[in-house]
Chains A and B, each alone.
Chain A
């Protein structure tokens, strides 16, 4: 009698472990990157106010940081007022062309004078941008 060598057969079927690993990694990646835009914003001492309920800044919003010394930053890059206005104006034109509303967030140092915001707001109004939001941070105690 010829005996056939026993071959160990692996059970057929899907191995779910790698798929679950990958799915978990993807979930964490997207959770992390969705927060990253806020975490990566340059540190600035914002006014401590609870803000406007229901207002949500879209991920594609234009963020302008205004320092206490009157410096303007966009995406971490120092810009002159003229450059800021030019960029916002182009974005405004693009938004109008595609039928969207420009989402503009101004983050200003709370100790700085309002003169810098006033100057920026006046120049923005000159190019037709009249809607914007002022960035605030939640008060430590949660109250006003």
Chain B
């Protein structure tokens, strides 16, 4: 009896090479998954949480600048010393004139939106402060 070799003939010589097609399909699939779902890149603002307790001794000579972020109606107010500022540009202008070594403390009140707190932190970083501390204001 003669057995048919049709199956072997098909795979050995005449069949469709699926491997390459699957490779290409996988590559296309992954490419489109990556490119379609890629979201906006995130960044971050490093901040140190400064303890509320006062430091003692000679450290008082190196008190950091204190920026208080509060809310007056719908507006956000940045308070630096006796200055009350309503824009980040004004805050930046004032901060640029201050010494940077002692750092800056950003005190954020509870009713302030997060974006205003982030804006204050970003402004401090932008003008050259490396030591930026975040303090929840009571």
**CB pair B49 A24 closer than 8 Å:** no
Contact A124 to B49, CB < 8 A, known contacts A21-B23, A47-B119, A144-B126: yes
Contact A121 to B49, CB < 8 A, known contacts A49-B118, A52-B125, A114-B112: yes
Chain A contact residues: helix, strand, loop or mixed = mixed
Chain B contact residues: helix, strand, loop or mixed = mixed
Interface residue B43 (Cβ < 8 Å from any Cβ of A): yes
Assembled-state Cα–Cα distance A144/B14 (Å): 62
Sample 13 A-B pairs with CB under 8 A, ordered by A number.
A25-B27, A39-B39, A46-B42, A55-B44, A110-B113, A110-B114, A113-B111, A114-B113, A121-B134, A122-B136, A125-B51, A133-B47, A138-B42
A103 CB to closest chain B CB, in angstroms? Answer: 10
Contact partner, B42, options A18, A111, A132, A136, Cβ 8 Å: A136
When distances are taken between beta carbons in the complex, the residues of chain B under 8 Å from A107 are: 42
When distances are taken between beta carbons in the complex, the residues of chain A under 8 Å from B59 are: none
A119 CB to closest chain B CB, in angstroms? Answer: 8
Assembled-state Cα–Cα distance A73/B132 (Å): 26
Interface residue A134 (Cβ < 8 Å from any Cβ of B): yes
**CB pair B44 A136 closer than 8 Å:** yes
Contact partner, A114, options B34, B47, B114, Cβ 8 Å: B114
Contact partner, A130, options B43, B49, B109, B122, Cβ 8 Å: B49
